[in-house]
Structure 1
Amino acid sequence: MGISIMQKSYCLKTILLLALTVSFISPAVSHELGLQLYSVRHQMEKDIPNTFAEISNWGLKIVEGGGNHYGLSAENFRNELIKNDLQIVSVDTSFEEVRDNPMAVVYKARYFGSRYATFYWIPHDGKKGFTIQDAKGAVKAMNNAGKILKANGITLQYHPHGYEFLPHQGGTILDYMLQHTKHAAFQMDVFWVKQAGMDPTALLQQYPGKFLSLHLKDRLKGTQNSTDYKAVVEANVVLGTGDVGISSVVAEAKKQGIRYFFIEDESSRVMIQVPESIKYLKQLDNLSH
């Protein structure tokens, strides 16, 4: 497997900057509550420094992202994070990168000081839907890449988006994936679990230890379920005001020892709603940040 110039650059920069970034990449992260940067994608398109400053003002220290640098070089993007005391705990990757070049995922995760690498989509025929054959191919790729990442101190995660809940042998295709993935983990987006008509708390209880992080996102009451990855982004509401059952999810996740909880809000009201969601989570007395 060849190493591209970009991959060599990631590796070289990691070595050169290691002495300057020990505190940034330290595994002893004390904060559990963070933000998925996709939430503020529109804000980052206009002004990354001020967006990161606002996240820091919310009291958050950890984020998830890094797949899109919004016009900045990887180095400048990372420097802006450091300036605002933000750490990418989980770096974004893709199924194609996981399948075809897992070492590229390792280099990217190491560069940002991330302990997790997460991908969010498995390519499939939209007309036929996600099939068991798609799932088997994904599981094979996850197990293969997961071993390589694990050997390099990185945990691979897959983030389901609801299309995996189609029926299969008395359960769902996601059941198959959860049962056959041995060298990678999963990240639960509670919104998409609910959108597929499932109970996020019950799924956590059914598969303890399989989900190592969460996307906390609440859904407007009355929203129609679907398993085709279609939902109105404005159905994202302040945590605790929707129908997902956030308090129950957080309590179960805390019980299982899940460490990282990333707020994600895709609505146009994100800058108003996220502080309210943080306030709600603090009232639960289940998360610190």
Structure 2
Amino acid sequence: MKKNLFLVAILMLCQLVYGQQKSPVGVQLYSFRNEFARDVRGTMQKVKDMGITDVEVAGFYGLSITDYKKLLEEFGIKAIGIGADFSELDNEEKLKEIIKNAKVLGAKNVVTYWIPHKGNEFGIEDIVKAAKVFNKAGKVLKENGLAFLYHAHGYEFRPYKLHYLMDELLQSTNPLYVNYEMDIYWVYHPGHNPALWLKNYPTRWKALHIKDRQKGTVGNQNGNSDPENDVTVGTGDLNMRDILLQAKKNGVKYYFIEDESSRSITQVPQTIDYLRPYFK
């Protein structure tokens, strides 16, 4: 009996240690938006229990910026990135507020996730406008000790002349002020190879959103997909090995899991386990 109790105790200890093992990558907290809407503190505890220490924030859940910062500190979680709407980049006062919030949180990156456009219409005129806004805002952010990243969302990968709209955006923005966060799902979904884009622009992708797509999903170039198509990384149809090896070869600094499905609270820990061998 004593021997059995001893073995049980050892097993419980191992499970405790494993559960607190640090995640090798960060997480975009938008993944847990549904859970945060119901219980902010309880969800932050779950994030900590997954071993996650680095995050991109997605709103403050009704808290003041100072109270939100205290909550992150309480759970040993560090904000690496903070979001900014396109309209905020193009407004001097709103950009000042973004800078202030980023500094309060200690964030390093300011990330924009969408270029406004009409319906599914997206063309070179949208790229030209975005490049102008990005270059201007990116310069201000750099002068304030922050890095600006644009998170591409799928519609940028439409053909244009002899290449793609995304090439135009990359080539029209100053790398001193503007760089990019690759969401590998939103490169693959419109029919492209994320590893190849990483290879072709090795110095411009500073961060990676890691997510996988359910096998058999039909892609498009509109930046639209059912969130339930997000599956545990390693079980979908993206070639994770090639993508992650190329990203590491490039020296990509920041990696964040993003899982927009209703199963994210169970899938993210499984994704973390899958990713561990790539980050030893």
Return the offset for 1:104.
2.5
Which residue of the partner structure matches residue 40 of structure 1?
32
Which residue of the partner structure matches residue 151 of structure 2?
159
Which residue of the partner structure matches residue 121 of structure 1?
114
Provide the rounded CA distance (Å) in 2 between the counterparts of 1:150 and 1:98: 13
Deviations 1:196-234 (A, max 9, x none): 110000110011111100000000111101011211111
Return the offset for 1:32.
5.7
Question: Could you list the runs of 5+ residues in structure 1 that have no partner in the other structure?
Answer: 1-29
The 1:83/1:118 distance shift into structure 2, 3 A limit, reads: same
Return the offset for 1:287.
2.1
| TM-score (structure 2 length as normaliser) | 0.88
The 5 Å alignment of 1:91-240 reads 91-101=82-92, 102-127=95-120, 129-182=121-174, 183-240=177-234
Return the offset for 1:243.
1.1
Which residue of the partner structure matches residue 17 of structure 2?
none
Instruction: Please tell me whether the aligned partners of residues 146 and 155 of structure 1 are also in contact (alpha carbons under 8 angstroms).
Output: yes
- What is the Cα-based RMSD across aligned positions, in Å? 1.4
Q: Among 48, 51, 56, which residue is 1:56 paired with? A: 48
Provide the rounded CA distance (Å) in 1 between the counterparts of 2:263 and 2:165: 34
Identity among equivalent pairs (%): 36
The 1:31/1:55 distance shift into structure 2, 3 A limit, reads: closer
Question: Could you list the runs of 5+ residues in structure 2 that have no partner in the other structure?
Answer: 1-21
Return the offset for 1:89.
0.2
The letter of the residue matching 1:148 is V
Which residue of the partner structure matches residue 253 of structure 2?
259
Instruction: Please tell me whether the aligned partners of residues 81 and 111 of structure 2 are also in contact (alpha carbons under 8 angstroms).
Output: yes
Return the offset for 1:31.
7.8
Structure with greater Cα Rg = 2
> Is 2:82 the counterpart of 1:85?
no
| TM-score (structure 1 length as normaliser) | 0.85
Instruction: Please tell me whether the aligned partners of residues 120 and 161 of structure 1 are also in contact (alpha carbons under 8 angstroms).
Output: yes
Provide the rounded CA distance (Å) in 2 between the counterparts of 1:126 and 1:163: 11
The letter of the residue matching 1:176 is E
Instruction: Please tell me whether the aligned partners of residues 139 and 181 of structure 1 are also in contact (alpha carbons under 8 angstroms).
Output: yes
Number of residue equivalences: 255
Provide the rounded CA distance (Å) in 2 between the counterparts of 1:210 and 1:100: 25
Instruction: Please tell me whether the aligned partners of residues 32 and 260 of structure 1 are also in contact (alpha carbons under 8 angstroms).
Output: no
